[in-house]
């Protein structure tokens, strides 16, 4: 046990040294280190499926499964992923980057194991934040009914699931975690089957009264055994508890309480959201190594939203567990009754804004592009079908860098453009962001606007007001058109500065509806078109323009779109990823020159 405690210290030191250099998730993965050591001690990672919810807390797992020497490549291009990834290691059972999938995966794995008749047991590690999503309870509902042997470790680092109620609850919880209690309970349950109804009723009422003052009643009522809370940093106690859970042969939740940032005092404890995911920083001071000199798009959104809310009490908003990430923190602090964080519940966030729009309010639903995917049915069924004026503020559109495949914001244009009643537009700098949001505030039907992680490419400049379905020609040139959408306008401007001709540059603004008049007029005089948008090619901006030309029977236009091909995009710095895709400005300029020279 002393060696395991020393191992935990060594692993935390390794994580801290690496993340301070590469950036990554920190507080949650430090807090989960002891749990993961205990998992590996009790279960067999060679055969038992180790399933990590979100998997941002799985760094200790990576270090224990042959990746110690390569750990310094974490989140770097061609290096280790910041999440579990089966292509990276056979010990990573499943890929994960979104929350609340682990118990469903564990149920699926348990079904496969049962069908194959194998002696294996899925073990899932899930954080308390992930327990706010409905998918967890869908999985628990089936698991409690079918009784597959699954061990779920609930990493409660906020004590948000259930707070122990004084010394009595602590004593009961420790007792429930003991092998004596589990055996005693089993014998009592067998005995109850043979007792008269009156005695059984009294015994059942006594057992239920105990549950009422312990935090496990929810899980027990769903048919899942509950043990805890236990100390998530007592490796010896964790091993004993997990061995009991493993031997029960049925679904069990082990509720472990941990401290975020464990082992790094600066990040320890609750209320330090900024230590969840970090860039590189100085270990001694905790201060970032570098600061962006340009205002990022998220900050512009947050400031503008607060200004809109100051001037109009009908402006409201919601986010799903990302108040600082989406820039909603300022509005939530100023108007706590009008702006809400509903936790990791994108479906609920989307649907709940519909009635507010119906009742005359103007909801802004601020969600990352990758997470809006989780509320797609609700966008269709509860917003667009009702044709109510919810505005979707889509943060992290385009390549987001080190978080990789699960987080790249590639698909929002493609999946939203197909929805009736939906209007799509995008700004490309600070001024157009403010204009886009003013347009959204006064727009009475569903709409969505997207913006990148970090700063816009293009510098700020004066611009005209947004008008429904109207593009803006920001540079007149020769018979070659550069069409930019959102941050793609900045990319078009960069490329234009590197070619030996002067293209006409269009800020498309609206991809739905398109500016049919302007685009068809340009198509009559410009036959070479190049499209720039940080989005998937299939169903994207170039596709929308080609659909228009097909419908209007426009001929003779040669269009090339520099959107993402039909593949998931790997992790690494944004510049490195873009370079691998041939999307850096110098590469695009060379590609365009080759295309034009090849005529």
- The b/e string for 426-437 (b: 16+ C-beta within 10 A; e otherwise) is bbbbbbbbbbbb
Q: Phi and psi (nearest 5°) for 202?
A: -65, -45
Flag whether 10 is in a domain.
no
193: pLDDT confidence band, cut at 50, 70 and 90? low
374 a catalytic residue: yes
Instruction: Tell me the pLDDT tens digit for each residue of 498-519.
Output: 999 999 999 999 999 999 999 9
Give the pLDDT mean for 577-598.
95
Flag whether 269 is in a domain.
no
- Report pTM: 0.89
168: pLDDT confidence band, cut at 50, 70 and 90? very low
pLDDT for position 185 = 64
Flag whether 85 is in a domain.
yes
Q: How far is CA 86 from the centre of its chain?
A: 19
CATH label of the domain that carries residue 505: 3.40.50.920
Instruction: Tell me the pLDDT tens digit for each residue of 444-467.
Output: 999 999 999 999 999 999 899 999
Pairwise pLDDT comparison (228 vs 15), residue with the higher score: 15
Flag whether 180 is in a domain.
no
149: pLDDT confidence band, cut at 50, 70 and 90? very high
579 a catalytic residue: no
Q: Are residues 309 and 381 in the same domain?
A: yes
DSSP assignment of 531-571, as one string? EE-SSBSTTSHHHHHHHHHHHTT--S-EEEE-SB-SS----
Decide if pLDDT at 345 tops 50: yes
Q: Which is catalytic among the residues 262, 338, 362, 374?
A: 374
Flag whether 206 is in a domain.
no
Flag whether 246 is in a domain.
yes
Q: Are residues 309 and 425 in the same domain?
A: yes
Q: Are residues 364 and 246 in the same domain?
A: no
pLDDT for position 163 = 44
pLDDT for position 160 = 41
pLDDT for position 469 = 97
Question: What residues contact residue 93 under an 8 Å CB cut-off, 6+ apart?
Answer: 49, 50, 51, 84, 86, 105, 109
pLDDT for position 289 = 86
Flag whether 136 is in a domain.
yes
Which residue's structure tokens are 């667009």? 384
Q: Are residues 151 and 224 in the same domain?
A: yes
Q: Which is catalytic among the residues 67, 260, 434, 441?
A: 260
265: pLDDT confidence band, cut at 50, 70 and 90? confident
218: pLDDT confidence band, cut at 50, 70 and 90? confident
Of 420, 450, 480, which residue is a domain's last? Answer: 450
DSSP single-letter state for residue 466: P
Q: Which two tokens stand for residue 89?
A: 């290691």
Domain that holds residue 513: 472-597
Q: Of 129-133, 178-182, 426-430, which one has max mean pLDDT?
A: 426-430
Q: Are residues 345 and 417 in the same domain?
A: yes
Which stretch of 57-71, 176-190, 285-299, 325-339 has the lowest confidence by average pLDDT?
A: 176-190
Decide if pLDDT at 102 tops 70: yes
Q: Are residues 434 and 476 in the same domain?
A: no
Q: Of 222-236, 267-281, 423-437, which one has max mean pLDDT?
A: 423-437
Q: Which helix (H) or strand (E) holds 472?
A: strand 472-475
Q: Are residues 425 and 511 in the same domain?
A: no
pLDDT for position 276 = 82
pLDDT for position 166 = 47
| Helix/strand/coil for 256 | strand
* Separation of alpha carbons 172 and 154, rounded Å: 18
Flag whether 349 is in a domain.
yes
Decide if pLDDT at 169 tops 50: no
* Separation of alpha carbons 331 and 313, rounded Å: 12
Calculate what percentage of the chain has a pLDDT beyond 90. 76
Which stretch of 145-159, 161-175, 473-487, 545-559 has the lowest confidence by average pLDDT?
A: 161-175
CATH label of the domain that carries residue 94: 3.40.50.970
* Separation of alpha carbons 475 and 432, rounded Å: 16
80: pLDDT confidence band, cut at 50, 70 and 90? very high
* Separation of alpha carbons 336 and 543, rounded Å: 42
Q: Are residues 87 and 153 in the same domain?
A: yes
Decide if pLDDT at 249 tops 80: yes
Q: Which is catalytic among the residues 120, 225, 338, 346?
A: 346
User: Which segments of 396-460 are extended strands (E)?
Assistant: 423-425, 447-450
Q: Are residues 355 and 247 in the same domain?
A: no
pLDDT for position 216 = 75
Decide if pLDDT at 189 tops 90: no
* Half-sphere exposure at residue 472, Cβ-oriented, CA atoms within 13 angstroms: 18
pLDDT for position 544 = 98
Q: Are residues 437 and 318 in the same domain?
A: yes
Calculate what percentage of the chain has a pLDDT beyond 70. 89
62 a catalytic residue: no
pLDDT for position 165 = 38
* Separation of alpha carbons 379 and 235, rounded Å: 45
Q: Are residues 91 and 124 in the same domain?
A: yes
| Count of domains forming the chain | 3
Q: Length of the chain in residues, anyone? A: 599
pLDDT for position 392 = 98
Q: Are residues 102 and 241 in the same domain?
A: yes
């Amino acid at each position: 046990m002393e060696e395991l405690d020393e191992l935990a210290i060594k692993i935390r030191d390794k994580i801290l040294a690496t993340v301070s250099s590469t950036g990554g998730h920190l507080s949650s993965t430090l807090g989960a280190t002891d749990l993961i050591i205990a998992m590996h001690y009790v279960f067999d990672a060679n055969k038992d499926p180790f399933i990590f919810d979100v998997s941002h807390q799985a760094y200790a797992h990576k270090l224990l499964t042959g990746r110690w020497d390569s750990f310094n490549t974490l989140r770097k291009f061609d290096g280790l992923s910041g999440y579990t990834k089966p292509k990276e290691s056979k010990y990573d059972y499943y890929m994960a980057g979104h929350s609340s999938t682990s118990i469903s995966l564990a149920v699926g794995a348990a079904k496969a194991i049962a069908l194959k008749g194998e002696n294996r047991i899925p073990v899932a590690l899930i954080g308390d934040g992930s327990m706010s999503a409905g998918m967890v309870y869908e999985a628990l509902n089936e698991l409690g009914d079918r009784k597959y042997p699954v061990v779920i470790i609930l990493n409660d680092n906020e004590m948000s699931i259930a707070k122990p109620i004084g010394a009595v609850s602590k004593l009961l919880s420790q007792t429930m975690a003991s092998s004596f209690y589990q055996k005693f309970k089993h014998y009592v349950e067998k005995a109850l089957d043979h007792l008269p109804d009156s005695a059984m009723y009294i015994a059942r009422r006594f057992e239920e009264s105990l549950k009422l003052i312990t935090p496990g009643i929810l899980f027990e009522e769903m048919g899942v055994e509950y043990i805890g809370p236990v100390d998530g940093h007592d490796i010896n106690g964790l091993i004993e508890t997990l061995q009991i859970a493993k031997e029960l042969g049925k679904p069990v939740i082990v509720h472990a309480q941990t401290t975020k940032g464990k082992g790094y005092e600066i990040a320890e404890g609750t209320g330090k959201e900024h230590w969840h995911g970090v860039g590189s920083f100085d270990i001694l001071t905790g201060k970032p190594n570098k600061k962006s000199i340009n205002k990022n798009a998220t900050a512009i959104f947050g400031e503008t939203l607060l200004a809109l809310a100051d001037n109009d009490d009908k402006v409201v908003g919601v986010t799903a567990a990302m108040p600082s990430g989406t820039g909603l923190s300022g509005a939530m602090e100023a108007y706590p009754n009008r702006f809400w964080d509903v936790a990791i519940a994108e479906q609920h966030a989307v649907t709940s804004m519909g009635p507010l729009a119906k009742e005359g309010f103007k909801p802004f639903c601020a969600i990352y592009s990758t997470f809006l995917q989780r509320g797609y049915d609700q966008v269709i069924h509860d917003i667009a079908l009702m044709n109510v004026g919810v505005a979707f503020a889509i943060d992290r559109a385009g390549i987001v860098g080190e978080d990789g495949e699960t987080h790249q914001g590639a698909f929002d244009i493609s999946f939203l453009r197909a929805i009736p009643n939906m209007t799509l537009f995008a700004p490309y700098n600070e001024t157009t962001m403010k204009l886009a949001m003013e347009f959204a505030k006064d727009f009475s039907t569903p709409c969505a606007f997207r913006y990148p992680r970090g700063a816009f490419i293009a510098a700020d400049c004066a611009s005209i007001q947004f008008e429904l379905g109207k593009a803006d020609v920001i540079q007149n040139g020769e018979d070659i058109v550069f069409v930019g959408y959102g941050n793609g306008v900045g990319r078009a401007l960069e490329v234009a500065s590197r070619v030996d001709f002067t293209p006409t540059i269009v800020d498309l603004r609206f991809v739905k509806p398109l500016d049919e008049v302007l685009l068809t007029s340009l198509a009559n005089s410009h036959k070479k078109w190049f499209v720039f948008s940080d989005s998937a090619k299939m169903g994207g901006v170039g596709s929308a323009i080609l659909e228009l030309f097909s419908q209007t029977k426009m001929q003779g236009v040669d269009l090339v779109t520099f959107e993402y091909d039909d593949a998931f995009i790997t992790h690494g710095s944004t510049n490195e990823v873009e370079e691998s895709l041939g999307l850096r400005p110098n590469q695009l300029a060379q590609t365009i020159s080759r295309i034009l020279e090849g005529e």
